Amino acid sequence: MNQDSILRSLIAENLVSDPASARGRLLHEAARLFRDKGYERTTVRDLAAAVGIQSGSLFHHFRTKEDILKAVMVETIRLNTALMQAAMEAATTHRDKLQALIRAELESINGQTGEAMAVLVFEWRSLSEASQAYVLELRDIYEQLWLDVLDALRKDGVLAAEPFVVRRLLTGALSWTVTWYRPDGGLTLDDLTEQVVAMMGLTRAEN
């Protein structure tokens, strides 16, 4: 399954919005605005203007402004969990599975869904507690993928640190790339992936 067919099947199951639909376009613009200006600094008038309607008309599609933020986050997690799963299943060795996960997460942070992923990282506190709990549940599925691979590497004797700590350190390291990585800066995503693997001392030759 390639990325496009994964997206299409999620749309068919109504788990994410079609980017071509009114709702999908709004969520895309919202992600962009929330990333650029922050959730609080983005007004419903900004959101409405971005899709060419009046501010009041937004509330025909979403009950509250926060619902829009929640939808951005939920749909992003759903899509990326599916993409991760596919990327990992395509690899064979534990080391390659880890590299695939790193590569996939870098892609989700710096590629098409980058705006939404940045929102997920930096606008977390703007979600109500109830919504936070819901999103956290979705994230657990996603996190288990990582822990399984890191546990295996640990048992192989390739990884010296605790898997759950490593995952959290990696979460930070990879999320943070959104603040500095630019695809046109002479470093491809593949290069960056290799740098991460190299920093961990997991060079290809050894394993």
Question: What is the binding site for a second copy (CB under 8 A)?
Answer: 37-38, 40-41, 122, 125-126, 159-162, 165-166, 168-177, 179-180, 187, 192, 195-196, 198-203
Residue 52 binding result from DNA, a second copy, none, given CB thresholds of 5 to 8 Å by partner type:
DNA
Contacts with DNA, 34-53, as mask; x by CB under 7 A: --------xxxx--x---xx
Quick one: DSSP state of residue 56? G
128 binds DNA (CB under 7 A): no
Could you tell which of a second copy, DNA, none binds residue 57, using a CB distance below 5 to 8 A set by kind?
A: DNA
**Per the structure block, which two tokens stand in for 7?**
């997206």
Contact 100, 197 (CB under 8 A): no
Work out the angle between the directed axes of helices 65-90 and 94-110 (0-180°, nearest 10). 150
Q: Choose among a second copy, DNA, none what residue 171 binds, the Cβ cut-off being 5 to 8 Å by kind.
A: a second copy
36 closest CA partner among 128, 132, 123: 123
Name the binder of 125 from DNA, a second copy, none, CB < 5-8 A by kind. a second copy
Tell which positions 53-72 bind DNA, by CB under 7 A.
Answer: 53-57, 59-61, 63-66
CB 163 within 8 A of CB 150: yes
Dihedrals phi, psi of 162, to nearest 5 degrees: -70, 130
- Give the whole-angstrom CA distance, residue 182 versus residue 18: 27
What one-character DSSP code corresponds to residue 125? G
Residue with tokens 């025909």: 60
The reply to whether 96 sits near DNA by the rule CB under 7 A is: no
Q: Minimum distance between the CB of residue 29 and DNA, rounded to whole angstroms?
A: 13
Q: Which is nearer to DNA, 21 or 195 (CB)?
A: 21
- Residues near DNA (CB under 7 A) are 22, 42-45, 48, 52-57, 59-61, 63-66
